[in-house]
Amino acid sequence: MSEKRRLHPAAILFTIVKMFKELIFTIGVGFFAFKEEGMAYFIIGGSALVIIALSFGILSWYRYTYRVEDEELRIEHGIIIRRKRYISKNRIQSIDLTQNVVHRLFKLVKVNIETAGSGMGSEASLKAVKLKTGEALREELKTAKKAATIESADAEQMEQDFPSETITKRRLFVAGTTSGSIGIIFIIFSVVFSDLDQFIPDSYYENTFNTIIGFSIIIITILVLALLLLLWLLGIAGTMIKYGNFTITKHPDELLITRGLLEKKQTTIPLRRIQAVGINESIIRQPFGYVTVYAEVAGGSIQKGEDFSTILFPIMKRTEVDDFLTKLLPEYVSERNKLKGLPAQAKTFYLVRSSMLLMLVAIAMLFLFPQFIWAPIIVLLLCMYIGLLRYKDAGFRIDGERLTLRSRVINRKTIILFHKRIQSFESKQYWLQKRASVATLKASIVSSFGAGTHYKIKDLSVDDAMEIADWYSFRDY
C-alpha cells in the first residue's frame, strides 16, 4: 500500500455515469426542444458531450492516485489543479465498503472513509478498487500500526468467534409489510407523474380522463385498490432489497453491518462513537410486538445515516431486544419496562396539545359547512387518542450513569444514553406548567455528521425534573 495506486479502470465508467445523471434533465429538455428542425444540432451537441465526458473520465482516473505512507492515507487528484489530501489514521472514524451491481459484477468495491469532520459527505471515496484491495486497505487503516498478515483459515476461525445477528427472510418480509413506505412511494409517484404532463400530449390525458369517467364506481374502486396493492408490494420489495442479508457482527472495537441485495454495503461503527441506543416502535408494528433498534453515532457523514440514525437491526420482537443488546452492547441493557411515568395533571396538557388545532377547525366547519362536521370530529377523536398514548408512554429511569427516556410523537421511542454522552441538559417551565407543578426537560447529544440530537419529555413533575437535573449536575461516579 506504500506505492502509488490507481483506481480500477471501471472508475471511468462511474465518473461518466455520474456526469450524465447530473445532466439528465438538461439532456431531456434539449431533446424535446430540438426534436424537430434542430435535431441535427442536438446530435452534434450530444456527441460532443459524450467525447468530453469520456475524456474527463479517463483523465480523472489517470490523475487519481492513492497510497498509505507514514500512518496516513495520501490521495492526489485533479486534472488542471493538482490536489493532495492527507488523512491520518488516527482521525479515521469508519471505513465502509459498498458494492452496487456493477461493482459485484467485476468483483470491485467502493471505499468510503469518514472522519469526525466529514460533514455532508465522506472525507475520501475510492470509487472502484478490487475487493481484496479494499478489504486490505480497510484493515491497514483501522490500526495505527500495520498488523501482520493473517492466514485466511485463521481469519475465518476468528470471524466465527465474533457474536453476530442475522435477519431471516420471514422477518424481512414482515419488515417490508409493516414499513409504512406506501405513503412515501405514493408521493414519489405523484411528483414523477406531475412532471411528465409537460412531455405528454394533452389528447392522451383527455382520452384517459374520459375513459376513467366512463367506468363504474366498482371498477374505479378496484383500480384504486390495485394501485395501493402495487405500492404496498413495491414497499416490501424495497425493504427486502435494502436490508437483504442483513448481518451485524461485533468486533473488539467496532460493529460491522453488512446489508443489501443489489447494492451490498458494509458499514463500520466504532463502539467509542456510539452516543445512544434507541428502540423505535412504529404505530403499525407496535400492536404486533415488533421494534427497530438503532444507534446515534457521532461523526460520519449525512450520506451514511438512516434517517440520521444508524439501524442496528431493522426488525425484531420486543422481547428479543435484551438478548440482542446483551450479545452486542451489554452496557445498554436497561429496565425500560419499569419507567417512572408522568403525573396525573400532565394528561390535560397532552390532550389539549394534540387536539387544539382540530378543535378550531371543527368550530369553523360547524359554522361554514355543518353538513361535514363529522369529518373533523373523527380526526379530533383520533388526535386525542394519540395524545393519550403520548401521555401514557412518556417516562424515564435512572440507573447509575445510565438514563432511559421514552416519548412518542407518532411512533414510540425509547432512548438509552449515558451521563458522559450528554452534551447539555435543559429544564424549563412556562406559566401554565408552573401552576400545574410540571416541567419540560431536554437532553442533547452529538450525533450524525456532528449535529445535535435532542430528546424531550414534556410535563414531568417538578420533583422528577429536579431529580434528573441533580443526576446530571452532581454525581459520585
How far is 379 from 179, CA to CA, in rounded Å? 23
- Together in a domain, 148 and 278: no
Q: What are the pLDDT digits (tens) for 42-70?
A: 777 778 888 888 898 899 999 999 988 88
- Together in a domain, 328 and 434: yes
Predicted confidence band of residue 146 (pLDDT cuts 50, 70, 90): very low
Q: Burial code of 388-405, b = ≥16 C-beta within 10 A, e = fewer?
A: ebbbebbbbbbeeebbbb
For the segment 34-42, the average pLDDT, to the nearest whole number, is 68
For the segment 264-275, the average pLDDT, to the nearest whole number, is 87
Residues above pLDDT 70, as percent of the chain? 80
Determine, yes or no, domain membership for 263.
yes
Write the burial class of residue 73 (CB in 10 Å: 0-12 exposed, 13-18 middle, 19+ buried). Answer: buried
User: CA dist 192 to 185, 197, 220, 228, Å?
Assistant: 11, 9, 22, 17
Angle at which helices 39-63 and 10-33 cross, to 10°: 160
Place of cell 378496484: 222
Contact criterion met (CB below 8 Å) for 359 and 380: yes
CA proximity to 452, closest of 229, 238, 298, 224: 298
- Together in a domain, 362 and 464: no
- Together in a domain, 359 and 377: yes
Determine, yes or no, domain membership for 464.
yes
- Together in a domain, 412 and 267: yes
Residue 302: predicted pLDDT: 45
Tell which wins on pLDDT, 123 or 337: 337
Q: What are the pLDDT digits (tens) for 162-205?
A: 889 999 989 988 888 887 655 555 555 554 455 545 445 555 55
Residue 148: predicted pLDDT: 39
Residue 403: predicted pLDDT: 93
Determine, yes or no, domain membership for 166.
no
- Together in a domain, 14 and 71: yes
User: CA dist 182 to 135, 229, 252, 287, Å?
Assistant: 37, 9, 39, 19
Determine, yes or no, domain membership for 149.
yes
Q: What are the pLDDT digits (tens) for 195-252?
A: 545 445 555 555 665 665 555 667 777 877 888 788 788 888 888 888 988 999 998 8
Domain total in the chain: 4
Beta strand ranges found along 342-436 (DSSP E)? 395-399, 402-408, 412-418, 424-428
User: Average pLDDT over the chain, rounded to whole?
Assistant: 81
pLDDT at 322 over 70: yes
Tally the C-alpha atoms within 13 A of residue 294's C-alpha that lie toward its C-beta: 20
- Bridge partner residues of 231 (DSSP): none
* Strand order from edge to edge, sheet including 402-408: 310-317, 290-297, 274-281, 412-418, 402-408, 395-399
- Together in a domain, 306 and 406: yes
Tally the C-alpha atoms within 13 A of residue 93's C-alpha that lie toward its C-beta: 23
Contact criterion met (CB below 8 Å) for 256 and 267: yes
Among 243, 260, 292, the domain-final residue is 243
- Other C-beta atoms lying within 10 Å of the C-beta of residue 155: 12
Residue 307: predicted pLDDT: 46
- Together in a domain, 186 and 325: no
Q: What are the pLDDT digits (tens) for 275-316?
A: 999 999 998 899 999 999 999 988 654 444 444 578 999 999
Domain that holds residue 43: 5-161
Range scoring the smallest mean pLDDT among 41-50, 99-108, 316-325:
41-50
How far is 380 from 433, CA to CA, in rounded Å? 24
Contact criterion met (CB below 8 Å) for 49 and 30: no
Residue 464: predicted pLDDT: 92
Among 161, 180, 213, the domain-final residue is 161
pLDDT at 26 over 60: yes
Phi, psi of 453 (to 5 degrees): -115, 135
CA gyration radius, the chain: 27
Q: Say which amino acid occupies 444.
A: S
User: CA dist 275 to 279, 297, 302, 334, 419, Å?
Assistant: 14, 6, 16, 15, 10
- Together in a domain, 332 and 353: no
Contact criterion met (CB below 8 Å) for 265 and 243: no
pTM, full prediction: 0.74
- Together in a domain, 325 and 426: yes
- Together in a domain, 373 and 429: no
Residues above pLDDT 90, as percent of the chain? 26
Residue 94: predicted pLDDT: 79
pLDDT at 34 over 50: yes
Determine, yes or no, domain membership for 218.
yes
Among 113, 140, 161, the domain-final residue is 161
Q: What are the pLDDT digits (tens) for 333-390?
A: 988 888 999 999 999 999 998 888 777 777 777 777 777 777 778 888 888 899 999 9
- Together in a domain, 352 and 465: no
pLDDT at 475 over 60: no
Residue 121: predicted pLDDT: 57
